[in-house]
Chain A
Amino acid sequence: MNKKWILPTLYILFLMLPIYGLLTMSFKTTNEILGGFSFFPQQFTLANYTKIFTDPTWYNGYINSLIYVVINTVISVSVALPAAYAFSRYRFLGDKHLFFWLLTNRMAPPAVFALPFFQLYSAIELFDTHFAVALAHCLFNIPLAVWILEGFMSGIPKELDETAYLDGYSFWRFFLRIFVPTIAAGIGVAAFFCFMYSWVELLLAKTLTSVDAKPIAATMTRTASTSGYELGLLAAAGSLTIIPGAIVIYFVRNYIAKGFALGRV
């Protein structure tokens, strides 16, 4: 029976190796990195992290990313809530087509939209603002939030709604006072996944920004291409981007599968 442990252990080991490589490199000096391979940092240094936390072009990258990710999450979840309720409770003209159309946007390749997005957001003078990226990420995050929330809401019996209406609740009072607290877990999961997908996306964020709202991802790719020798710095910046996900993942561990499956598990 104990043999069963081998495969998951090996698999997790395989998952951890590149992360270990990244972490050790972030604690090395540039000289040591270029000098050859070593399994542990010989001259342990925090210089790379100090640089990131003191140089505005670096730490602003994180701030910019966090700003548009948070704006996007708030917009996505708040407009998705009533829509998901409509899909889970009512039948209306074109509901199935609409539900499918939303999915096509979650599956649309961002590369197709990169250039038109650049022109659209330049035309409405939102280019290089946090708002542009937040709105652009709605393209795939709203459908995601609607699908996840619909999955959670369908698990709640309709008797809850009917009892509340019989008790004289108006729709919005029922929705905000009773229904939203009931599916709090679902909202948390939807918010987590919106946060995540907006956090990990690079192509649109890079296309829609130049200086003022430049995300950390873009700062990293530009550093990688211009000064290819500062690998330690790149590794430190990369390690720091793993932290937000690592912190929140524990809270949603029981719902990860449901979220990734668009609420369909």
Chain B
Amino acid sequence: MRKSTNQKAWWLVAPVLLLVAFNAFIPLMTVVNYSLQETFGDNVFFWEGVTWFEQVLRSERFHASLLRQLLFTSMILAIEVPLGIAVALSMPRKGPWVSVCLVLMALPLLIPWNVVGAMWNIFALPDIGLLGYSLNSMGFDYNFTQQPVSAWMTTVVMDVWHWTSLIVLLCYAGLCSIPDAYYQAARIDGATGWAVFRYIQLPKMKRVLTIAILLRFMDSFMIYTEPFVLTGGGPGNTTTFLSIDLVKIALGQFDLGPAAAMSLIYFLVVLLICWVFYTLMMRNEAQ
């Protein structure tokens, strides 16, 4: 759309700017403050420079939770993206069942995150939960509160349960925008199923898929509530992801300096990914 230049449009944006700035700038400045100083309470501060940043960047604890975070994010992407595409491809385009499918699939997306955690906790309890009981009676030794591998699997499957529908819904929306004529032309040319997917469906899905993957990447990068309620970060530290670790340091141990430095590093990483997201999206829209 051609847009006209109009500086008065700032007035329309002003309320949004004020409200979001109030919520974003002041807390961010507080974090910056803490990250550069040491305090022993009573509002007395000592200048520390970049000590906390060095400490955080060198600490093994930070490396470990960052590594866990990256591993988690790549695992869920590796499962959710192919599964989501496959489900979207095999859904019917028209018919009375489409609405039912869409509503049922979207259901997990609307459940409060702590309920998702609590639900999976109950579901996976080894002796009385549906999943835990079934696995154990099938002969698997499964106990997610004690075995790191079980805890990891449960967390990953929970995220797949929770968010794959997002990818399904977006891909499905992309697929629905393909005109029937494309498929007819492909049939006349005698294209195989793979060729139809590779040269018609995938290019049409590319745009929405980019959005879906980036959204999943970022949301999984800041995941907190679900694993916190499910496993509490345990057993030990095995499912302590970045956000959980941060809250432990900031609100649990009240180590404000390191927590603030870690917040800023974390935020910069997110900002970088965000910028990639924005650039890709704007390029999409320009096409």
Contact = CB atoms under 8 A, between A and B. Distances in A.
Contacts of A257: 169-170, 172-173, 208
Contact of B114 (A7, A12, A221, A235): A221
B15 interface: yes
Q: Which of A117, A235, A260 has the most CB of B within 10 A?
A: A260
Interface in B70-88: 83, 86-87
B251 interface: yes
B5 interface: yes
Contact of B87 (A11, A22, A102, A221): A11
Interface string B1-29: 11111111110110111011011101110
B281 interface: yes
B231 interface: no
Contacts of A114: 247, 250-251
B12 A256 contact: no
B81 to A, nearest CB: 14
Interface string A98-140: 1010111101111111111101100000000000000110110
Contacts, number: 290
B1 to A, nearest CB: 6
B274 A16 contact: no
A67 interface: no
A224 B133 contact: no
A217 interface: yes
Interface string A12-26: 101111111110010
A237 to B, nearest CB: 8
B123 to A, nearest CB: 4
Contacts of A190: none
Chain B contact residues (Cβ within 8 angstroms of A): what range? 35 or more
A264 interface: yes
B166 interface: yes
B110 to A, nearest CB: 3
B66 interface: no
B174 interface: yes
B286 interface: no
B110 A234 contact: no
A8 to B, nearest CB: 5
Interface string B108-122: 111111110011111
Contacts of B19: 75, 79, 135, 138, 142
B259 interface: yes
Contact of B9 (A8, A12, A92, A264): A92
Interface stretch (A46-54, A177-185, A238-246): A238-246
B263 to A, nearest CB: 4
A202 B16 CA distance: 23
Given A15-B161, A100-B278, A93 B119 contact: no
A182 to B, nearest CB: 15
Contacts of A92: 5-10, 13
B263 A119 contact: no
Interface residues of A, number: 97
B10 A241 contact: no
A107 B13 contact: no
Contact of B107 (A15, A87, A98): A15
A242 B113 CA distance: 11
Contact of A253 (B31, B103, B111, B224): B103
Nearest to A155: B1
Interface of B: 1-10, 12-13, 15-17, 19-20, 22-24, 26-28, 30-31, 83, 86-87, 90-92, 99, 101-115, 118-123, 127-131, 133, 161, 164-166, 168-170, 172-174, 208, 211-212, 215, 218, 221-222, 224-225, 229, 242-244, 246-247, 250-251, 256, 259, 263, 266-267, 270-271, 273-275, 277-278, 281, 284-285
7 contacts: A18-B120, A79-B15, A111-B266, A138-B20, A224-B229, A253-B102, A265-B174
Given A231-B122, A261-B170, 17 more contacts: A11-B105, A79-B16, A83-B13, A87-B13, A89-B3, A92-B7, A92-B13, A107-B273, A108-B222, A108-B267, A111-B244, A111-B250, A113-B23, A120-B27, A221-B114, A224-B229, A257-B169
Task: Enumerate the 5 nearest inter-chain pairs by beta-carbon distance, A residue then B residue, closest first.
Answer: A245-B110, A116-B27, A109-B222, A257-B173, A111-B243
Interface of A: 4-8, 11-12, 14-22, 25, 33-34, 36-37, 39, 75, 79-80, 82-83, 85-93, 95, 98, 100, 102-105, 107-117, 119-120, 135-136, 138-139, 142-143, 146, 154, 158, 196, 199-203, 207, 216-217, 220-221, 224, 231, 234-235, 238, 241-242, 244-246, 249-250, 253, 256-258, 260-262, 264-265
